[in-house]
Amino acid sequence: MAREKVTARRILKMKGERPIVAVTAYDYPTAWIAEDAGVDVILVGDSLGMVVLGYPSTLQVTLDDMVRHTAAVARAARSPLIVADMPFGSYESSVTSAVESAIALVRAGGEAVKLEGGSEYADRVKAIVDAGIPVMGHLGLTPQRALRIGGYRPRARGRGEARELLLDAESLVEAGVFSIVLEFVSEEAAEIVTRRLPVPTICIGSGRRCDGQILVFHDIVGLSRLTPPFAKKYVDARRIMLEALSRYAEDVRAGRFPSEEHVVHAKEPLDDLD
Ligand SMILES: Nc1nc(=O)c2c([nH]1)NC[C@@H]1CN(c3ccc(C(=O)N[C@@H](CCC(=O)O)C(=O)O)cc3)CN21
Ligand SMILES: CC(C)C(=O)C(=O)O
Ligand SMILES: [Mg+2]
């Protein structure tokens, strides 16, 4: 289906217009499916480290990993906005490192970048935006900070963290983000941030009062090993794939595969070579 190209400006304008649909994708086939499903945004998330590379957290993911996966997604997806996560270590040390990393992701095919953190990284956000690259913010549960904030627990359930969330969100807007991901924060805090901000909130595990939703592709289809409590599994693709692979193995062992339809025959007699 031919759809109109989604830009960062278009996402910004969707606030209050219609809900934004976002999903992660890490490779060519999953981006192709996301495109055909008509999603607005594909995030090449650093969750790929855990979901498709088997790492224990997102901290092991490198900029090279993100460049490679962003390029694969960009080759498949035409209409959705392609956002690339800035991995751990690619923006913390300096504003310059942040701009250089964002440029590498755009060269790979990203059309916007996302980075985790609030007012402490507002200078990075502003510099990347000044370089001409749209930036998506990411607040609440920030997995790259899991070591410091104590694991993958929900955030902003109390007044203190809710106020901090709002201040961080406002500082990101000031720095120029076109949208903000709110991960695993209370529905009440997410609603307040959503009402107070001029840019859309895209939520994961943060309730119903946001301008959009995002989930990890493999959680939706039942292909991830560690699934957060807030994800919804729409199909058990692991079961379907396991069944298919088991049948394949049985067929090979029983001599049922390949059969005549999967075979190519010689075009002249070869018996004399025998
Ligand atoms: N497959 C997948 N989906 C995701 O949404 C996702 C990832 N991986 N990896 C990166 C982060 C990590 N996320 C997660 C992962 C686990 C919980 C979770 O199980 N929370 C439990 C217990 C947490 C704990 O004790 O550490 C909870 O009830 O809060 C939450 C968010 C969300 N992100
Ligand atoms: C969960 C989303 C927002 C993310 O950052 C990722 O997939 O890496
Ligand atoms: Mg991420």
pLDDT tens digits, residue range 72-125? 999 999 999 999 999 999 999 999 999 999 999 999 999 999 999 999 999 999
- The answer as to whether 99 is a domain residue is yes
Question: Which ligand sits nearest to residue 214's alpha carbon?
Answer: 2
Range of the domain at 61: 8-235
User: At 150, is the pLDDT very low, low, confident or very high (cuts 50, 70, 90)?
Assistant: confident
| 86 CB within 6 A, ligand 2 | no
Residue 139 · residue 181 · CB < 8 Å: yes
Question: Are 131 and 215 within one domain?
Answer: yes
Q: Provide the pLDDT for residue 79.
A: 98
Q: Which two three-digit tokens encode residue 36? A: 């055909």
Check if the beta carbon of residue 220 is closer than 8 Å to that of residue 232: yes
User: Among 131, 195, 121, 190, which residue's Cα sits nearest to residue 161?
Assistant: 190
- pLDDT (tens digit per residue) in 185-216: 999 999 999 999 999 999 999 999 999 999 99
231 and 256 share a domain?
no
User: What backbone phi and psi angles, to 5 degrees, belong to 212?
Assistant: -165, 175
pLDDT in tens, 221-260: 999 999 999 999 999 999 999 999 999 999 999 999 999 9
The whole-model pTM stands at 0.97
Residues 55, 128, single domain; the answer is: yes
For the chain, give the percent of residues with pLDDT over 90. 98
Q: ipTM beyond 0.95? A: yes
- Count CA atoms within 13 Å of residue 203 on its CB side: 24
183 assigned to active site: yes
In three state form, how does the secondary structure of 18-79 look? CCEEEEECCCHHHHHHHHHCCCCEEEECCCHHHHCCCCCCCCCCCHHHHHHHHHHHHHHCCC
- Residues 165 and 269 grouped into a single domain: no
Same domain, 247 and 119: no
Question: In this model, does residue 1 exceed pLDDT 70?
Answer: no
170 and 253 together in one domain: no
Whether residue 85 has its Cβ less than 6 Å from ligand 2: yes
Q: Of these residues, 100, 183, 188, 268, which one is catalytic?
A: 183
What's the number of domains the chain is made of?
A: 2
Same domain, 219 and 103: yes
> In the structure, what pLDDT confidence band is assigned to residue 2 with cuts at 50, 70 and 90?
low
Q: Give the pLDDT score at 3.
A: 84
Residues having CB closer than 6 A to ligand 1 are 47, 50-51, 58, 143, 151-154, 184, 216, 218-219, 224, 226-229, 231
Closest protein CA for atom 33 of ligand 1: 47
Residues 130 and 249 in one domain: no
228: CB partners within 8 A, 6+ apart: 152, 184, 205, 219
**Rounded average pLDDT over 16-31:** 98
If asked whether residues 108 and 17 sit together in one domain, one would say yes
Calpha distance 172→27 (Å, rounded): 29
Which among 208, 234, 58 has a CA at the least distance from the CA of 147? 58
Determine the residue type at 176: G
Q: Which atom of ligand 2 is nearest to the CA of 116?
A: 5
Closest ligand, as measured to the CA of 45? 2
Question: Which DSSP string corresponds to 147-212?
Answer: HHHTSS--B--SHHHHHHHHHHHHHHHHHT-SEEEEESB-HHHHHHHHHH-SS-EEEESS-SSSSE
Regarding whether 246 and 138 lie in a shared domain, the answer is no
Based on the fold, state whether residues 261 and 172 are members of the same structural domain.
no
CATH of the domain at 136: 3.20.20.60
Same domain, 257 and 125: no
